[in-house]
A and B are shown apart, each in its own frame.
Chain A
Amino acid sequence: MGGGAVTESIDTRHGVILYLEDVSVSFSGYKALNKLSLAVDDGELRCLIGPNGAGKTTLMDVITGKSRPDEGSVFLGQDINLLQHDEATIARLGVGRKFQKPSVFPRQSVRDNLALAVQGHRSPWEALWYRPSSADSDRVASLLETVGLNAVAHQLAGGLSHGQKQWLEIGMLLAQEPLLLLIDEPVAGMTQQETERTAELLQSLVPQRSVVVVEHDMVFVRSIARKVTVLHEGAVLMEGSIDEVQSDSRVREVYLGEAC
């Protein structure tokens, strides 16, 4: 426990960090995910797009243990069956997640939010006797720098703007040192400048880590994506480069259909 090193237990020898096969999830009869299959390569930055209700958030729920699929399999690396673990364990295995609606600890300072996320010391007993090492303090300081919240480090997180909360949550995610980051709509509520910085930040994470980003903002997607997966009605509609996706007639239909 402790230390700042990236968790090293995920077996990615075959180059795949996340693998889903035929995953279905239904909510009282409605299929939010319908036999969805997806593979994310180790070190990849993948964008996930799709109209509202396509199942993007549900997909993240399944990967992180929040929802149990009715059928299908979900593997982290070669041999970790994520369906056998709960949320906290999956997080400790190295999967970090940012929620669609930013979720931070409002009554604690920005610094304390990050400190809580710093890797290690997760059991109640360890937490009771935890004293931040100088490495941990340095880590928090450098994260504050990275997410540009130095000036508000001592403010309560509840008072931050929407964009700042997004940044803080991304910072907390990084503090966990995950190998796979699932990021749901990171730039909602951000200014143009903030959006650009987010794009830079996400790009700087790969290929040491792997990142899956859900985003509606196509300009943003274009600025970061190498490979885009389009979800529609709980299944993968197509996969390809941003240009391929944007010129695809089925994708257009899905988005246009949604627009009217």
Chain B
Amino acid sequence: MAEDNILLQMKHIHKKFPGVYALKDVNFELRAGEVHALLGENGAGKSTLIKCLAGIYIPEEGEVIVKGNSHIMQNVADSQAHGISVIHQELCLVPYLSIAENMFLGRERNVAGFIKRGQEAEEAKKMLARLGLDFDPNTLIQDLSIAQQQMVEIAKALSVKADILVMDEPTASLTDKETEVLFETMRQLKAEGIGIIYISHRMSELFEITDRVTIMRDGQYVGTVNTRETTRDQLIAMMVGRELTQLYFKDEVKPGEVVLEVKDLVSPPFVNGVSFAVRAGEIVGMSGLVGAGRSETSHCIFGIDNRYTGEILIDGKPVHIRSVRDAMKNGIALVPENRKEEGLVLINSVGYNLTLTVLHEIFRGRPLGNPKKENETIAQYIHELAIKTPTAEQLAENLSGGNQQKIVIAKWLATKPKLLILDEPTRGVDVGARAEIYGFMNELAKQGVAILMISSDLPEILNMSDRVLVMHEGKVTANLSKNELSQELIMRYATGGGTANVA
């Protein structure tokens, strides 16, 4: 490959955080017109490397060469000026500003400081159209769904004239259809000679869209391979440093008594008459498209939505659930969809977050708490779920996505629930941690916990569920047992193609 083809080189990059050596001598190279994946477990340092390129972090050591110039980016504006545009892993939009305003934030179209709204709206409209989106550019971000926001984020990055485009898990909250549109756009950009750095935990996507893959592990560079010459297993082995024989772990468990039963749950506009049951030891998958009302149903059961009508029975007895406390008293736990907003107090420590749900136990009969018990609980869950953190005092926001997810799961396991509701339990979680999470689910089911798993990830639904409920427009349209499951069938009911076995 000719030298002049190389857009970007990062050499011997080092970056330390207090207690964490996040990047140890990492190398990376990007050519014009290629899609180059960065692959690694949660916490491997992928996002940190990207932030060193985007001018958000400044590496302690190392060299960054952009189009032949050696230059360490000093801030975001600097990196944009060098033709680098980044879609960050965490959504970076201002909720109260419009789509167009967000798109041009930091590089407003203006004359002497006065904004040209008309021009911005027009350009925004064009960028959105390119991604097949038909939004009014004046819509406020807070009125969009997470997936729509993600698409806006992508449009925003594309609207920067960049020759290096970085995408840190852009597809984590997208559906297959939107992902396809994104890939189509990526192929066009490739043809225009733009280099794309692509981060995703979805292996199948890597094989579909990337040319090369660079693997990182524990902040270190492991190697770079051509996608066409490698296999899934080889990538996984490089990534986790061992063979991972099995991702999904599911033992047959004989279902026990019915733990949860809901009858005619209604909470407009998303929940329009939902009835189903979950038995002890059973993992019930809940599938459906975005907006089908799955999370909203779980919010009723967990008492977050207290304006619903209908009946909820626990162990066969009708219960009154109008608050999260009510739900917890009835042995229900919910691992929410959006860990950063609903799952964690990010600015507090790992330990603080872990015990937040069981404070009443730690303070029972002891006005000043029981530090010994608290520390034991914290240590136990950090160990059991293999949460990667230097200490329990580390702030939750400094952990990688997968480890944050483990904290949320752990804090609810600590309540020893009878019914565990998991909403998108493995979104943005690497294969290693996924296998571990599936392992816990299996373990819990064996102990007789009833599990309701809401997921948009079809392989996960197919492999982990004993039974699958499919939702469409606020109703359960199918109740499929393990032996009749198939992807086609689920998609058919999810898109409104009839009903099956519905009580």
A binds B: no
Q: Give A residues with C-beta under 8 Å from B.
A: none
Q: Give B residues with C-beta under 8 Å from A.
A: none
